[in-house]
Each structure stands twice: as C-alpha cells, then as structure tokens.
Amino acid sequence: MPDPVGKAPFYWDYDFPVLSACVIKQVAIPMIGIPLLFATLFTGYSAYQGYYEPVLGVYVGAFGFSIFLGLCYLIVVALTGNHLQVGYVITEQGLFSATIGAGRRGASILGTLLLAISDDMTMQGIGLLAQRSDAKFTPWDKVADLRPAGPNKDLKLLNGKGRMIDRLRAGTEEYDRVLHLVTRMIAQRKSEAQAPGQDLLDGMGRRAGTANDQIPMQ
C-alpha cells in the first residue's frame, strides 16, 4: 500500500494574518499597560520624594507613547501587507524555515515587537517566526521531542533538556502529514544514534558467548 504520510523533502507555507483579533488582543494590552505602569511608578516615586507636581502631563505623555506604539504596529501591518508568510521544508537532514514574500523587513520588525511586549507563548512563537528574514536550519539530531502547542496547529521542537529550539505551524491540510513526518525523522535519528552502541553491545555479547562455549565442562 502507498505510504499516506509521504517522504521528505516536503514543502509547505503558512500565512499569519498580522492584523487579527488575536494579535491585537495580545499587543494592545502591553502597549497601553506598560506606559501607564511606568507613569504610575514615576509619579509615585516623585510623591515619595516630596515632589508634588501635576501628574496630568506624565499620563498624557504615557498615552502619547501608547499611540506611538500603535502607529508602529500599523506601519508594520502596511509593510507586511497584513500577511506574514513563512515557508518550511522538511528534509532528511532537518527543517528549513524562512520568512518569504515582500514583507520581510516588516516581518522582522513585527517579530522584535512581539518578543519585546508580549509574554504569550503563541505570540512569542509568531515573533520568532517573523524574525526569519534569512533561512533557519534545525538538524534532527538536535531535536529530542515534538510537542503540539495550542489550538493553532503549532508544533514545538524540543531539545534533550525540554527547551524549545524551534516552532512550526501547518495548515489543516498539511498538519497530519507534517506531524507524522517530523515524528518519523526524530525517531529515525534517535535509532541511528543508538545503532553504534547497540552494535558494540551485540559484539560484546557474541564474544562472551563464544568464551563461555570454550570453557570445558567439569
């Protein structure tokens, strides 16, 4: 029967909408909250030191900085054309990924912005993907495990210490194939890494068996 999973190399790409409710929700809170937090800390420290200056100007400045961050986000949306397209290639050696299309520079800015102001793992994952204006390669021998992450068809590649070293996303049509193919590649590399040690143990076992056969029975 034909293999439904297929073989490497396998290529697919995924479009991330830059202007979406999910991204706006994660970006808007830090954009507004961080300037207000610093404004509150500054006015509180000033009051503690005895400087009772009007605080309205401080909060107006914080509000203006929030507007500036919002404009930066809209500029990034314009630079990317509201689409962050990441291309992936699964090979026998590893995973290639890169930001493709005309919005590379805007995507890199978006990635830096998301990594700086968001603590959400999904947003940080998108930020890491967005920064790939150049191709990134992750070899399978550095990947110890694969873990699904979140409801958005994300897959996290983990090293031997359980830390995420890469993250990928596939559409509904490609997800099952990508999941099985990456799982196969990781298992294949693990078996290849264990093969030399297993051959050594088998050889030692054969030599021990031969030596026992040569011992005369009393």
Q: What is the pLDDT of residue 2?
A: 37
| Residue numbers in the chain where pLDDT is lower than 50 | 1-4, 124, 198-201, 208, 210-218
**Which residues fall within 8 angstroms of residue 137, CB to CB, at 6 or more apart?**
94, 95, 96
- Report yes or no on 208 lying in a domain: no
pLDDT for the residue 211: 44
Question: Quick one: pLDDT at residue 64?
Answer: 85
Is 168 inside a domain boundary?
A: yes
Nearest CA among 20, 13, 51 for reference residue 129:
13
pTM above 0.75, yes or no: no
Does 133 map to a domain? yes
- The answer to whether position 56 is within a domain reads yes
Integer Cα distance of 57 and 199 in angstroms:
74
Range of the domain at 143: 10-190
Radius of gyration of the chain (CA): 26
Degrees to nearest 5, angle at CA 83 with 77 and 88: 135
What's the Cα-to-Cα distance from 119 to each of 114, 116, 122, 123, 129, rounded to whole Å? 9, 8, 9, 7, 15
CB burial of residue 27 (10 Å; 0-12, 13-18, 19+): buried
Tell me whether residue 211 is in a domain. no
| pLDDT at res. 96 | 83
Is residue 195 assigned to a domain? no
CB atoms within 10 A of CB 98: 18
| 26 within a domain of the structure (yes/no) | yes
Domains held by the chain: number: 1
From the list 195, 215, 214, the residue with the least C-alpha distance to 203 is 195
Any domain includes 218: no
CA 89 from centre of chain: 15
The Cα–Cα gap between 102 and 59 comes to 38
> What per-residue confidence (pLDDT) applies to 148?
82
Burial 119-145 (b: 16+ CB within 10 A, else e): ebebbbbbbbbbbbeeeeebebeebbe
